[in-house]
A and B are shown apart, each in its own frame.
Chain A
Amino acid sequence: MKKFILINHKKFDFILLGMLVVLIAVGFVAIFTASTTVISDQIMTANHWWKQIIFAVIAFLAIALLLKLPMPIFDILIVPAFVLNVLALILVLFAPTVAGAHRWFSIANINFQPSESAKLLTILMVARYISKENLSEYKQILYGWGIMIVPVILIMIEPDFGTTLVFWASLMAMFIAAEVPLFFIVLMISPVVSVIASLHWLGIVIWIAVLAFLLLRAGLSWVAITVAGIINTFIALITPVFWMGLKDYQQNRILTFLDPTRDPLGAGYQIIQAKIAIGSGSWAGKGWLLGTQKNMNFLPEHHTDFIFSVIGEEFGFVGSMFLILLFFAFFARLIHCVFQLKVRERKVATAGIMAYLMFQTFINIGMNIGLVPATGIPLPFISYGGSNLLINTISVAVVLKYLNERGFIK
C-alpha cells in the first residue's frame, strides 16, 4: 500500500531532521538580534530575519521535492548537473565584480553563487567515481583529485580561498570513507605539515620522525618510507629559501593571512571586534538584544560571517556551548549515518557532506574567536544568506534521502 510516499517511516532519520530544524531555528533568533540596533528607547530591526524564514521555507520545499524524486533519476542527474555547474563557474568569471570578487550571478535582484552548488555536486561526483568496484587506491586518488581540481581551480580564480580549503577537507574525508588506506591520507597531508614544521628545525626533526613511525606502522616498505621522508625533508628545507625569495609585500600578505592582528585596519580589526564581543559575553552573556558591541555596529555584516560573535556576546559561554554541542551532536549523528549506509557511493558522499559542513562550522567559529584567519565562510544553517542555507539544507536532504531509500535497490 502506497500511503506515504515521501517518508519511509521505518528508515527515515527523524533525529537528523530534528537537529537540522533546531539549528535553523537558532539561526532565526541569532539573525533577528544581529540585525537589530537599540539606540536609547528605539529598537530597529532590519528585515533579514523574515527573509531567512522565507529562505528556510524554500529550503524545506526543496527537501520534500528531493525526497519525492525517484532515486534512479537522481542518480542520472548528477553528472549533467555537475557539468552545467562547472560551466557556470567559468561564466561567473565574466560577471561583474561584487565586493572585489567574481562570485555572484545577479539576475533580477536574486544573487546566485555557483560555487555554493559546486560544493555539493563535486562531492556527489567524486563519491560516484571513487566508489566504483575494483579500483586500485591509486586510481581512487587520481579520480578524486582529478574531479576536484576543476572546480577548485575555478573557485580559486574568483578568488575564494576558504571554500577551496573546505573542498580539500571533504575530499580527504571521502578517501577515508572509500577505504583508501590511511597512510595515503597521511602522505597527502604530509607536505602541508612539512611546510608548517619548517618554522623551526626541531619541528622538522620531530615531524619526520612521526611520519616515519606512522608509515612504518602502516606496514610500508623501507624504500617507500625513505622516499617519503626525503621528499618531506626537502620540502621543509626548501620552504625557508622560498620564503626569503618572496618580496616584502608578498611575505606581509601571507603573514597577515596567518595572523590578522598584524593588520589592525583590515581583517585584524574585525577579528578583534569579534573577540571583544564574544569575550565580554563572559559566562551568561549580556542578554537578548542587549549586546553592546553589536549595538555599536563595529562589525559591518555581523548577521552573516560574524553571527557567532553576536551569540557569544548575548548568550555567553553557556549559549555558545549549547550551540557548539548542538553542532557536535549533529555531526556525530551524520557520522553515525555514514555507517548506516551500505551502498558505497552513498556512504562516501555522506562522509564528504559531513566533512564539508563540519569544516565550515569549525573555520567560521574559529575565525570568530581568533583561532583561524578570516576567510569569509559563513556558519552553516545559522548565518544569514539564502543560497548557503539552501545548499546546506539540500546536502542534508541528500543524506536523508539515502537513508530513506535504504534497501530499495539492493
Chain B
Amino acid sequence: MNKSSRVFLITSAVLFGILIIALFRLQVIKGNHYQRVAESNFVRIRRLTATRGEIYDQKYRPIVQNIPSHNLFLISGKIQNLPALARFLSLHFEVTIEEITEMVLNQRFRTYEEILVADNVPFEQMLSVSEYLNYFPELVFRIGSTREYLRPNHFTGYVGRIDESEYERYKAEDYSINSYIGKTGLERYYEVLLRGQDGREVVQVDAQGRSLGLFQKGGFIEPLNGLSLVLTIDNEMQDFANRIFPAGVKGTVVVSDVRSGGILAYISKPDYDPNLFMQRITPEIWDELNSEDKPLMDRVIHATYPPGSVFKPVTAGLGLKKGVITQFTRLASCIGGMQVGNRFFRCWDHSGHGTSNVVEALMRSCDVFFYDLSMKLRLDEFYDYVLASHLGSKTGIDLPNEREGFFPDTAWYRKTFGRNVGILGHKVNLSIGQGEVLTTPLQMNAYYAAIANGGTWIQPHLLKQTVGRARLTREQVERVQTKQLPFSQADLRIIHEGLYAVCNSPYGTARSVQVPKAQTFGKTGSAENFMGKKTHAWFCGYIVTDKPEIAVTVFMENAGGGAAMAAPVARQIFDFYMGNIEDIKRPAVLPPQFRSAEDLAAEAAQLSGQDRAPEADMKQENSEEIHPD
C-alpha cells in the first residue's frame, strides 16, 4: 500500500468516523431527549398576523373597526381518526364530511400548517364545541380579529378569505391560504396600506408549555400592523344624507369639498350590510344581495347614466369657448320644440320658452336653445371638449373598478350605424345630455365642483391621511391630480350666472334651493331613458359663502323630475352644511392613541416653554397637521 492510498483511506475513515460519532451522540445518547421533543409536537414556524388598519372619518370617528373573533383551526398532521373528525365538524359547523376530507387531503404535503375550518364562531358555540376538544387534539381555537362595519356604505367595501385565484396571484406577497384580503372598495384599493406585514414566531414549547430551548436566539419577527385610514368623509354629513334620502328610491348622493376634492358624503341606494360577508352567507341573503335592485352595485362609480339637463353647462361652455354665442346671443325661439330636418325635437316644456340667451336657457333649462346651439358645433370638437372636461374618463377616485362613462365621436357613429349615418339628430340629442352620452354621478360632481372652483378640476378622493405606525399625508400616499378645465374666466362667470339663476330667479327650475348666509348654484335634470319608465332625477350644484364650499350631486334612478325629486334633497344637505359649518370645518384633535412619542414630547415642550393655554397649543399643532391645504 503506497502513501497516497493511505492518505485516502485515512481521510475517509476520519470523515466517516466523525459521522458515526455524531450520529451515536444524536440518536443514542440524546435519543430520549429528541424523542420527547418529537412527541411534544411540535417545533414549527407560526405566522403572527398583523392587525389590519381601521378606517375613520375626518374627525377620527370610526367607520370600520376590528373586533376579536374566535376561529377554529385544524392541524391535519395530528389527526387520529379522520372519519370521526369529519362527522364531528359536519355536525357542529356548516361543512360537509366531503369538504373536510378534501381540505385535509389537499393539505397533505403541509400537514403541520393550520387550516381554518370556521371563522367568527359565536361565543356560545365555541363553549359547546370546546367540551369535545379533548377528543380532537388536532382542533384548536385561536383568537383572531374580524372587521366590524359600523356604518354600512359602498365605499369601504369589505374583506374576505383569500380565494384560490387570489392566492395564486398574491402568494409571493406573503399571503397564506387562511389570509383575509380586501375584496372591494377601500379595503381592496388600500389593501397594501391596511394589511401591514405578518410576523413569524418559532414555536418551541412542549405540551406543558416549557421552552425546548432549541435555538439560542428567539426566532421572532414582529408583525407590523397595518395603517389606519382617515377619510375625508364626515360621518354626520353621511348619516344626514342617508337619513333624508327618500326610502325605496334607488340613487346616489355625493357631497364633496370644492377646494380639496375630498368626498364628505358618498351614498348609493339601495345599500347592503358588509358585515354579512363576515359570516357564511346563506342562500336567501345571497339571493337578496343579487336581486333586481342590485344593492351590491355602487351607483356612484360602477354605473353610468344619461345626465340629461345637468349636462347643459358643457354644451353652453363649448358654445362660449368657440365664440358661437356670447352672453347676449339669442337663439331660435322655443315653441315647445324645434324642427330639425324632418323631425320635431320637443322641449321639456311643451308650452315653449320663446327666445333666450344662455343664462336664461340654463335657468329655465330650455332644450331648444341647446338644440340650436348644437347645430353650430362640430361633433368631434364637442367630443374633444367633453374629454377635456374630464367627463369621458375615470376620475381616478381611490376606489377600484371605476367606470369611464361615454361620449361618442363621428368615428363611433360610423362604426355603429354605418358610414352614412346622419350625425345631426344625434348631436341635437347629445346637446341636452341625452342619446348616447353616459356619465357616472361622481363625474358630474367633480365637474360641478370644478365650475365652483374657478375652473380647476380636482381629482375626487376619499383618503385624507393615514394614522398608526406611519402618518402619511394624502400626497405621500398618492398625488391628487388637478387640471384646468377649458373655461375662460369670462365664460365661467356667464355659466355661474346661469347656475345662480336656476336656484335664485323666480323663473329658475330649482328656485326652492336657497339657504341662508350662502349663495346656491345648481342645475336640475330629468334624463329620459328608453324604457318607458320615469325619468332619472338629477340635481348638481354647489354653495358659495365668501368662497366656494361644497358641491352636491343628487341622482335618483327613474324617480321623476329633477326639480321635484332631487333638488329638495340637495337643499336639505346645503341647509345641514350651513347649519353645522363650524363643526364640520373645525379641525379634529388627533386622538391620543395615534400620537407618537415625538408628538407628546413636542406638546410637553410647548406647554412648559410657553405661557399659552393648552387648548390653543393643541389647536395650532393640529391645524398644521391636519390641514395641509
Residues of chain A contacted by B82 (CB below 8 angstroms): 39-42
Distance between Cα atoms of A295 and B79 in the complex (Å) = 11
**B623 contacts chain A at the CB level, 8 A cutoff:** no
Interface of chain A, main secondary structure: helix
**B108 contacts chain A at the CB level, 8 A cutoff:** yes
Contact A281 B5 (CB under 8 A): no
Residues of chain B contacted by A327 (CB below 8 angstroms): 16
B96 to chain A, nearest CB (A): 18
Chain A proximity mask over B1-24: 1 for CB below 8 Å, otherwise 0 = 111110111001101101110111
Query: Given that A44-B108, A276-B34, A283-B28 are known contacts, is A176 also in contact with B23, CB under 8 Å in the complex?
Result: no
Contact B110 A280 (CB under 8 A): no
Contact A296 B77 (CB under 8 A): yes
Contact A265 B104 (CB under 8 A): no
Contact A332 B202 (CB under 8 A): no
Contact B31 A282 (CB under 8 A): yes
Query: Given that A338-B5, A339-B5, A362-B15 are known contacts, is A264 also in contact with B44, CB under 8 Å in the complex?
Result: no
Query: Given that A280-B31, A324-B19 are known contacts, is A317 also in contact with B8, CB under 8 Å in the complex?
Result: no
Distance between Cα atoms of A176 and B200 in the complex (Å) = 49
Query: Given that A276-B43, A292-B38 are known contacts, is A297 also in contact with B112, CB under 8 Å in the complex?
Result: yes
B-side interface residues, number (CB < 8 Å): 59
Contact B26 A37 (CB under 8 A): no
**A272 contacts chain B at the CB level, 8 A cutoff:** yes
Query: Given that A261-B215, A369-B22 are known contacts, is A177 also in contact with B27, CB under 8 Å in the complex?
Result: no
A29 to chain B, nearest CB (A): 19
**A406 contacts chain B at the CB level, 8 A cutoff:** no
B302 to chain A, nearest CB (A): 39
B377 to chain A, nearest CB (A): 56
**A269 contacts chain B at the CB level, 8 A cutoff:** yes
Q: Give which listed residue, B27, B39, B214, contacts A316 with CB less than 8 A.
A: B27
Distance between Cα atoms of A410 and B376 in the complex (Å) = 106
Please tell me which stretch of B217-225, B480-488, B602-610 contacts chain A, meaning at least 4 of its Cβ atoms lie within 8 angstroms of it.
B217-225
**B545 contacts chain A at the CB level, 8 A cutoff:** no
User: Smallest CB-CB separation from B30: which chain A residue?
Assistant: A279
Contact A331 B12 (CB under 8 A): yes
A-side interface residues, number (CB < 8 Å): 57
Contact B200 A265 (CB under 8 A): yes
User: Smallest CB-CB separation from A46: which chain B residue?
Assistant: B109
Q: List CB contacts (< 8 Å) of B180-235 with chain A.
A: 200, 202, 214-219, 221
Residues of chain A contacted by B13 (CB below 8 angstroms): 328
**A220 contacts chain B at the CB level, 8 A cutoff:** no
Contact A358 B34 (CB under 8 A): no
Interface of chain B, main secondary structure: helix
Q: List CB contacts (< 8 Å) of A292-336 with chain B.
A: 292-293, 295-298, 312, 316-317, 320-321, 324, 327-328, 331-332, 335
Residues of chain A contacted by B3 (CB below 8 angstroms): 182
Q: List CB contacts (< 8 Å) of B31-86 with chain A.
A: 31-35, 37-39, 41-45, 76-77, 79-83, 85
Contact B8 A264 (CB under 8 A): no
Contact A265 B219 (CB under 8 A): yes
B14 to chain A, nearest CB (A): 10
Contact A328 B12 (CB under 8 A): yes
Query: Given that A265-B202, A269-B202 are known contacts, is A279 also in contact with B33, CB under 8 Å in the complex?
Result: yes
Query: Given that A272-B215, A282-B27 are known contacts, is A176 also in contact with B35, CB under 8 Å in the complex?
Result: no
Residues of chain A contacted by B27 (CB below 8 angstroms): 278-279, 281-283, 312, 316-317, 320
Residues of chain A contacted by B12 (CB below 8 angstroms): 328, 331-332, 335, 358
Contact B32 A282 (CB under 8 A): yes
Contact A293 B200 (CB under 8 A): no
Contact B23 A320 (CB under 8 A): yes
Residues of chain B contacted by A283 (CB below 8 angstroms): 27-28, 31
**B105 contacts chain A at the CB level, 8 A cutoff:** yes
A294 to chain B, nearest CB (A): 10
Known: A281-B27, A317-B31. 16 other contacts (CB 8 A): A37-B109, A37-B111, A40-B83, A176-B7, A264-B215, A264-B219, A265-B221, A278-B27, A279-B34, A283-B27, A292-B38, A296-B112, A297-B110, A297-B112, A317-B23, A351-B8
Residue pairs across A and B with Cβ atoms less than 8 A apart, 18 shown, are A39-B82, A40-B81, A176-B7, A262-B216, A262-B217, A276-B43, A279-B31, A282-B34, A292-B39, A296-B77, A297-B112, A317-B28, A332-B9, A338-B5, A339-B1, A362-B16, A362-B19, A370-B26
Q: Which A residues fall within an 8 A CB radius of B? A: 37, 39-42, 44, 46, 173, 176-177, 179, 182, 261-262, 264-265, 268-269, 272-273, 275-283, 292-293, 295-298, 312, 316-317, 320-321, 324, 327-328, 331-332, 335, 338-339, 351, 354, 358, 362, 365-366, 369-371
Q: Which B residues fall within an 8 A CB radius of A? A: 1-5, 7-9, 12-13, 15-16, 18-20, 22-24, 26-28, 30-35, 37-39, 41-45, 76-77, 79-83, 85, 104-105, 108-112, 200, 202, 214-219, 221
